[in-house]
Structure 1
Amino acid sequence: MSERARRLAPVVEMAERAERDAARKLGHCQGLVSQAEVKLGELERYRGDYQQQWISEGQQGVSGQWLMNYQRFLTQLETAIGQQNSSLQWHRENLARARELWQQRYARLEGLRKLVQRYLDEARAAQDKREQKLLDELSQRLNARRDD
């Protein structure tokens, strides 16, 4: 390994850890978004079921007290849906930030890996050049001895 590539090894390791941490956080945020979407879906289905109950009960006639309770509960349910929508939006924004951070960390890591590879390629090319020069010198010496 070339000296320059060897000196970059700790930096690459740190970048790998940072990228893994960012990927882990991204996965966690994706899970939270999924949970928030499921919860919102459940609340909306529950609201639909509750409204269907209103239609069924309303056809048979309802008391004023039942109607007031229905309206109060429906208002609470709408509030909960609104709050869940806000929560979902907040989680999506966090997910977007986590994705952006992971992309930055990943790009930095890939840049470092390419730099290390370039250093290794340069070192290999320099070594090949030295070996070729040595072989050329040996070949010239052998030819010079044959001529003597």
Structure 2
Amino acid sequence: MQRDSRRFQAIQRLAEKKERDKAAAFGRRREERDAARRRLQELESYRQDYLDRYTRAMQAGAAVSRLRDYQGFIERLERAILEQRRLVDEQEARCREAKQDWSEEYTQVRAIGNVVEHKQAEERREEARREQKLIDDRGPRRG
């Protein structure tokens, strides 16, 4: 008969693999979120640069057509920033979900590990009792 701890160890190995997969997925989601945040910062920085250029051009008395070009481009940047913020929000939600998935799997692995340890301790105690019984049965008998 196979020991209980060995059956649980097989389950534990499967759970550990699943936990590693969830941890890797969480890591990928975090990288995607960070990339989306960096892109948002780039867009915001670019917009600020263009706003500064627009202000300088206006102060320098630039042609109206040039100022309209600046305004049009700044408006497109604003739309891109709004879209990127939406993407950042989505990535943050996905990251939180992946973290929750990994956390639940991690908790499961720890619980299974505790069961395995408990079963192994039980089996060691049972083995010690059997050995003691054999020793007692073989010992000098008083009659």
Q: Which runs of 4+ in 1 moved over 2 A?
A: 129-139
* 1:56 aligned counterpart, secondary structure: helix
Name which one, 1 or 2, has greater alpha-carbon Rg. Answer: 1
Query: Is it true that 1:49 corresponds to 2:49 in the alignment?
Result: yes
Q: Shift of the alpha carbon at 1:65? A: 0.6
The answer on whether the counterparts of 2:58 and 2:67 sit within 8 Å (CA) in structure 1 is no
Query: Is it true that 1:104 corresponds to 2:104 in the alignment?
Result: yes
Identity %: 29
What residue is the counterpart of 2:25 in the other structure?
Answer: 25
2:91 maps to amino acid: H
- Quote the Cα distance in structure 2 between the aligned partners of 1:26 and 1:127: 43
Q: Shift of the alpha carbon at 1:106? A: 0.9
Work out the number of aligned pairs and report it.
142
- Quote the Cα distance in structure 1 between the aligned partners of 2:100 and 2:83: 26
- Quote the Cα distance in structure 2 between the aligned partners of 1:16 and 1:41: 37
CA RMSD of aligned residues (A): 1.7
For structure 2, the 5+ residue unaligned runs are none
The answer on whether the counterparts of 2:44 and 2:81 sit within 8 Å (CA) in structure 1 is yes
Query: Is it true that 1:71 corresponds to 2:85 in the alignment?
Result: no
For structure 1, the 5+ residue unaligned runs are none
1:104 maps to amino acid: E
- Quote the Cα distance in structure 1 between the aligned partners of 2:75 and 2:56: 19
Query: Is it true that 1:58 corresponds to 2:53 in the alignment?
Result: no
Q: Shift of the alpha carbon at 1:134? A: 3.4
The answer on whether the counterparts of 2:37 and 2:88 sit within 8 Å (CA) in structure 1 is yes
Q: Shift of the alpha carbon at 1:47? A: 0.8
* 1:61 aligned counterpart, secondary structure: coil
CA offsets 1:10-33 (integer angstroms, 9 cap, x no match): 322221111111011001001001
What residue is the counterpart of 2:7 in the other structure?
Answer: 7
- Quote the Cα distance in structure 2 between the aligned partners of 1:10 and 1:132: 30
2:102 maps to amino acid: W
- The structure richer in helix per residue is 1
- Quote the Cα distance in structure 1 between the aligned partners of 2:14 and 2:123: 24
* 1:133 aligned counterpart, secondary structure: helix
Q: Shift of the alpha carbon at 1:40? A: 0.6
